Amino acid sequence: MARETRITSPAVPTGLAAMVGNRTWFRDRVGESGCTVYRLAGVAGDDLYLKTGSGAQLDDLVDEMVRLRWLTPHLPVPRLHGFVLEGGTGWMLTGRLPGRTAYQVLESDPKAAPVLAASLGAFLRRLHAIPAECCPFNADHRLRLAAAKVRLEAGLVEEDEFDEARIGMSAQAVWDEMLDALPPQFERVVTHGDFSLDNLFVVDGAVTGCIDLGRVGIADPWQDLAILWNSLEEFGEDLPPAMLAAYGVALDPARLDFHLRLDEFF
């Protein structure tokens, strides 16, 4: 599937019209389950991104906007150009981070993988070093377990999308095994919440910033480490250990497994 499709520009709120005029519009096709995302190409490479949503997606969009504003002084993130609420729909306009996503880099240049894995680990360590006492958002495992249980009981868990290790299992079986192996303790750091290769931008092997910030909040560091581990493993079994070495932590199999299982519910 193409990552994006060129489209005719849709109508936008008056408050944003002047900022998005005379641009070529593309509909982003990555992450279709959430808000609608457009890339607005500029003549000088100064692309903008417009994300829009209503209903439950509006809640997600507001969550992302307030977290983006909070995280801006601490870490490289897209610049917020504007946010408009009109007729029950939200519109968020942001700038573009330099470079390509880590996934695109690894897909096109597998030889870059060892250096990139280390850069990703170092960048994640930088995120987790932000003082947790300054963060007003909670995203810990108890909150996520409660949300996962709601999805489980509503039949919303996509069992055919499970990772290879759990293909063929029912959501209930994954849930039961996860609770039986609940780690005895968790840490509290500022986490991204979806620290995957599509959400990290790279130039010459260095991470230039992260996007999709709607899940930022205080949680166990393995919430992020597990997702990044899983993403990197697709490109080589040696990459996750290299990432952990750069981050500066030993493998914790219990917490890795717990967070990988928990992520299956979302």
Query: φ, ψ for residue 175 (rounded to 5)?
Result: -60, -45
Q: How many residues does the chain have?
A: 266
Mind giving me the DSSP string for 51-80? Answer: EEEETHHHHHHHHHHHHHHHHTTTS----E
Known active-site residue 140: no
Name residue 19's beta-bridge partners: none
Among the listed residues 119, 77, 136, 97, the one whose alpha carbon sits nearest the alpha carbon of residue 239: 119
Cα(106)–Cα(109) distance, rounded to whole angstroms?
5
Q: CA–CA distance from 112 to each of 239, 240, 245 (Å)?
A: 11, 14, 17
Question: What are the strands, taking DSSP E only, across the chain?
Answer: 4-7, 24-28, 36-41, 48-54, 80-86, 89-95, 100-101, 189-191, 200-203, 206-210, 217-219
Q: What is the DSSP letter of 214?
A: T
Among 47, 63, 163, 194, the active-site one is 194
List active site positions.
194
